[in-house]
Amino acid sequence: MKIGASQEWVSAQWEAAIADWPVAKRYQGAERVALRDASLRFIARKTITAGGDFVVTDAMCLKLATMACVPILKLGLDWYDHFQTVIVYQDDYVSEQPYRSEDGVVHSGTRGLSGEAWLRGPVILSWHSIGQSGPHSRQGYASNVVIHELAHKLDMLRDGANGAPPMHPDMRAGEWHEIFSAAFGRLQDDEDHGRSLPIDGYALTNPAEFFAVCSESFFEAPENLQQKMPEVYRLLCQFYRQQPAEQQGEANLA
């Protein structure tokens, strides 16, 4: 970012960087200013670095920071204080880490990844995958790799990645567990019977992926989530302190 740049210049750069991300249109007026400010503070606080010989431009930083800040807009940037670094690869990258595939088998080889969030480490993202964000972009399902990986980071704040982030005082951990377990069970049942799924079946990998995939849907395709999984939608409204399906309606009227 240009040193000593004027507020107007920075604001114009931010608007240009997020112009092709429809979710940002949901935030207008004071909320839009808050989102821009949070994004700029995210860039100032975090180390955003390129993987390989990729070059991360200011516009890329602004866009991914904005995607990162949408989930914590009503929570506060300090919910991200437990990590420092975001690494961006040009394309899906190859991880050398051992990993557990969907069938539960732990593999020691390499695999292509669109994003990763380490328990005590960086968030790793593929710029190519960030460009695929949208309400129907992953085999017809909502996709946003930034929101997905940051949801894992929020989840990790309480007892590791287990699908339950820290609860606010007005929320009950028991209710969260009950509703998310039931929704997971219904999705598994749909999958087992070959019915069409309301969200990406990758959610069935484990409860942590379920929360991350539901969070992608919550922000990228909220009306779909509200309609198909109303109880999960309601709890995510409580956790994120946002009502994106309702905000969507207002944006459409404007």
**Given the rule CB under 5 A, which residues bind Zn ion?**
209, 212
Residue closer to Zn ion by CB (options 67, 212) is 212
Orientation angle between helical segments 173-192 and 230-240, nearest 10 degrees:
140
Minimum gap (Å) between residue 92 Cβ and Zn ion: 14
189/160 Cα distance (integer angstroms): 27
Residue closer to Zn ion by CB (options 101, 252) is 101
Minimum gap (Å) between residue 68 Cβ and Zn ion: 15
Residue with token string 């309301």: 198
Minimum gap (Å) between residue 100 Cβ and Zn ion: 11
Residue closer to Zn ion by CB (options 144, 242) is 144
Minimum gap (Å) between residue 117 Cβ and Zn ion: 7
Helix (H) or strand (E) holding 116: strand 115-117
* Helix, strand and coil percent figures for the chain, each rounded to 5: 50, 15, 35
Residue closer to Zn ion by CB (options 13, 205) is 205
Minimum gap (Å) between residue 204 Cβ and Zn ion: 12
Residue 157 burial class via C-beta count within 10 angstroms: exposed 0-12, middle 13-18, buried 19 and up: middle
Sign of CA dihedral 125, 28, 232, 78: positive
78/68 Cα distance (integer angstroms): 13
Measured from each CB, the residue nearest to Zn ion is 212
Residue closer to Zn ion by CB (options 143, 248) is 143
